Amino acid sequence: MADDKIEVENVNVPGQITRVDRTKYEDMRAAILKITPHDAPGLTAKEMKEAVIPHLSPDLFPEGKTAGWWQKSVQLDLEAKGILTRAETKPLRWHKA
Is the pLDDT at 17 greater than 90? The verdict is yes
* Domain membership of residue 44 as a residue range: 2-96
Q: Above pLDDT 70, what percent of the chain? A: 98
pLDDT higher than threshold 80 for residue 2: no
Q: State pLDDT tens for residues 49-74.
A: 999 999 999 999 999 899 999 999 99
Q: What is the mean pLDDT of residues 68-83?
A: 96
Residues 8, 21 contacting (CB under 8 angstroms): no
| Residue 25, C-beta contacts closer than 8 angstroms, at least 6 positions apart | 6, 8, 70, 73, 74, 77
**What mean pLDDT do residues 3-13 have?**
94
pTM for the full model?
0.93
Residue 1 has pLDDT above 80, yes or no: no
Q: What is the CATH number of the domain that holds 40?
A: 1.10.10
Give the count of domains, the chain. 1
